[in-house]
Amino acid sequence: MKRKHIIVLIVLVLVGLIIFKLSSNKRILEEKKQPEKDTLVRIPVKVAAVVEELRTINLVKTGSLAPFKEAKVLAPMAGSIAQLKINLGDQVQEGQVLAVIDTRLMQLDLQKAVSNVRKLERDLATYTELLAGQAATQEKVNELRQSHADAVNQVAQLKKQIADAYIKAPTSGTVATKAVEVGVFANAGAEIATIVNLSQAKVQLNLTESEVYQTKQGQEVKISTDVYPDAEFKGKVSFISPQADETRSYKVELIAENKQSNLLRSGTFVYADFSRQTEQKILLIPREAITESVKDAFVYVVDQDKVRQRQVKTGIESGSSIQIISGLKAGERVVTSGQINLKEGTAISISK
């Protein structure tokens, strides 16, 4: 009887263990079926939309200076440089001799050619007299006359070559480059120097379609630059391109006075104030959305639940907003707060 109780107890314990194990396995399976909790850390940020507005703005454009005239001085013939009469930075006048090519061989050839002309003149005179006395033929006289003409042409060519050996300035200005030295052999067409004329300044800039139709040839424009913050230069529109480029912009050139006291040099950035207002559609975002400096600006753009870093080009600032020239489209959203914790692809949550 005692043994029977023991067996029953053992059976009950085994059944209990089986029930416990089955219950435990069921709980584990149910836990596996539960969705995983989102453990991804999301950075809270504030965002704002890129808006497009019609603004009335002053028509002030940036441009760069180009030389009023720039001329390359080229060797008209091959030869060694016998004289070089310029240095970098020298002021030269149009027609001034800058360099001389060695002409000693040409001078000798010229002397021979002149002697040959004189001999042929004497021979021609002699045979002309003989022809008059029927002691020479017409063919011989014609041959000498042709030889004399060829010799005269040769003398003229040699004189021209010797004259060309004196290389002259094609325009007045400043010697900007000097490519040769005395004794160097220069081929025909080789560059000797470059002369830049800064008596006036040529400003090159681009206008949009709406801006170009408000601009006229000869229109007066005020020119200023950061180099001389207190100076103002007077300019006029000298050229308006009749055709737009691939960006739908029109090239415009201005001619401005160039004061010796405040000399404008080629390559300087300037501002051209057309002294009028224009209406333009511009993209605006809050100023605080810009990270880094305005010159090297980028923003974080919302892409679903993440952010993408994007380079932008900025324009004018208006109150708490700043113009975006390129890099964004109207309706996109940019981060305005919380950028310090962001990088490319960071997950975010948008705060109200």
Q: Which residues of 59-84 are buried (b: 16+ CB within 10 A; e: fewer)?
A: bebebebbbbbbbebebbbebebeeb
Query: In the CATH scheme, what is the code of domain 104-164?
Result: 1.10.287
Stretch (H or E) spanning 112: helix 104-132
272-303 as b/e: b if 16+ CB within 10 A: bebeeebebebbbbbeebbbeeeeebebbbbe
Domain residue spans of the chain: 1-34, 45-56+282-350, 104-164
Q: List, for residues 193-237, the tens digit of each pLDDT value.
A: 999 888 888 999 998 887 888 888 999 999 988 888 888 888 999
pLDDT score of 252? 93
Q: What are the E-state strand segments in the chain?
A: 43-49, 51-74, 79-84, 91-92, 97-101, 166-168, 173-178, 185-186, 191-207, 220-224, 233-240, 250-257, 269-286, 298-303, 306-311, 313-318, 321-326, 333-337, 348-350
Q: What is the pLDDT of residue 249?
A: 86
Per-residue pLDDT at 158 = 92
- Provide the 3-class DSSP secondary structure of residue 6: helix
Domains 45-56+282-350 and 104-164 share a fold: no
Q: Which residues of the chain have pLDDT under 50?
A: 37
HSE-up of 301 (CA within 13 Å, CB side)? 15
CATH of region 45-56+282-350, choose from 2.40.30.10, 3.40.640.10, 3.40.190.10, 2.40.420.20: 2.40.420.20
Cα–Cα distance measured from residue 266 to residue 264, given in angstroms and rounded to the nearest whole number: 7
Asked whether the whole model's pTM tops 0.85, one would answer: no
The pLDDT score that the predictor gives to residue 67 is: 79
Alpha helices in 133-262 (DSSP H): 138-164, 209-212
Residues 48 and 338: their CA atoms lie apart, in Å, by 13
